[in-house]
Amino acid sequence: MIHDKHLRGFLKGLTASLDPVERFRMTIGEPDEWQRILLRTNPKWDPIDRLVLALCGRQSGKSTTCGCLAYDDFSQGKTVILTAPSMRQSTELFRRILEFKNTDPFCPPIVRQTQTELEAHPSHGGRIVVVPATDQARGLTADTILADEACFINPDDALTAFFPMRKETGRIFLLSTPNLRQGYFYDVWASDKKVRRITARSIDVERRRAQVEFDRQTMSETTFRREHLCEFVGSGTPLVSWATLEAASNNQVRALCLT
């Protein structure tokens, strides 16, 4: 048992600098399984991690996970670009990043911090730039590109315009709740391309159980399936209801007998 609080703090910070999951624990708490998988993706270990798609239910923690990924790479001296459909969403992402910065005992010396940018001393090299999904970001080069609510970035050109900014050794993360069955995210998700696919249904997150049950009672079935079950559904009425599907997989519900 180490009693010296300064030594404990040093070792805690050292552990976080070696593992983004430990960084998440230090700042937020215990991550969900899908967050552990996403935080530990690494193209050096598996080439499919160069492009990671995470299909996330509402309030599943995707923006917080984006913030952890961005800050962790920044702390290693990398350049990170974050984007979202609007400037408001982009700046909200930046607030998540600052949560991790403010708990990092090894935070590099900062020479520039605005509402959309974080830059370390040149001797360190880390930089984070947060921009809306427009052509304004052209000309940047990044080790890591993160797009939040990627399904809602339209047109596709506004999303894929970021891809050439990735360094040869870099990686791209697209996180989103589902939208319609169209667009770059859906096309890649439904394809057989060799990319990392991660699903985070909020219905499976224990800490979200009360909110999910409330939404189940108050949302339309289509909205519930999209927001919490991570299904790509349209605006029409489903042929088979969620209640019917749920009952069909419940061995406590008696079969319907037609005579």
Q: Quick one: CA torsion of 27, 198, 163, 108, rounded to 10 degrees? A: 20
172 has pLDDT over 80:
yes
The residue type found at 107 is: C
The shares of helix, strand and coil residues in the chain, as percent rounded to the nearest 5, are 45, 20, 35
Q: Identify the bridge partners of residue 145 per DSSP, sorted by sequence position.
A: 81, 172
195 CB neighbour count, 10 Å cutoff: 17
For 130-199, the DSSP string reads: EEESSGGGTT--EEEEEEETGGG--SHHHHHTTGGGEEEEEEEEEEE----S-SHHHHHHTS----EEEE
Residue 18's pLDDT is what? 83
For the stretch 60-72, pLDDT in tens is: 899 999 999 999 9
For the stretch 15-56, pLDDT in tens is: 777 899 999 999 999 999 999 999 999 999 999 999 999 999
Range 244-248 contact pairs with CB under 8 angstroms and sequence separation of 24 or more: none
| CATH superfamily name and code, 26-200 | P-loop containing nucleotide triphosphate hydrolases (3.40.50.300)
Close Cβ partners of 194 (under 8 Å, ≥ 6 residues apart): 47, 48
Q: Output the six-digit token pair for 66.
A: 């984006």
For the stretch 109-142, pLDDT in tens is: 999 999 889 999 989 999 999 888 875 566 788 9
Residue 208's pLDDT is what? 83
Given pLDDT bands bounded at 50, 70 and 90, which one contains residue 247?
A: low
Q: What's the CA gap between 172 and 184, in Å, rounded?
A: 14
Q: Identify the bridge partners of residue 172 per DSSP, sorted by sequence position.
A: 51, 145
Residue 242's pLDDT is what? 47
For the stretch 87-99, pLDDT in tens is: 888 888 889 999 9
Which of the pair, 113 or 255, is modelled with greater confidence? 113
218 has pLDDT over 90:
yes
244 has pLDDT over 70:
no
- Domain positions in the chain are 26-200
> Across 89-98, 222-231, 234-243, which has the greatest mean pLDDT?
222-231
157 has pLDDT over 80:
yes
**Percent of the chain having pLDDT more than 70?**
83
Chain-centroid distance of CA 21 in Å reads: 14
Per DSSP (E only), the strands in the chain are: 51-56, 79-84, 110-113, 117-120, 127-132, 142-148, 166-176, 196-200
Average pLDDT of the chain is 85
Which of the pair, 126 or 154, is modelled with greater confidence? 126
The pTM for the full model equals 0.83
240 has pLDDT over 70:
no
Q: What's the CA gap between 15 and 11, in Å, rounded?
A: 6
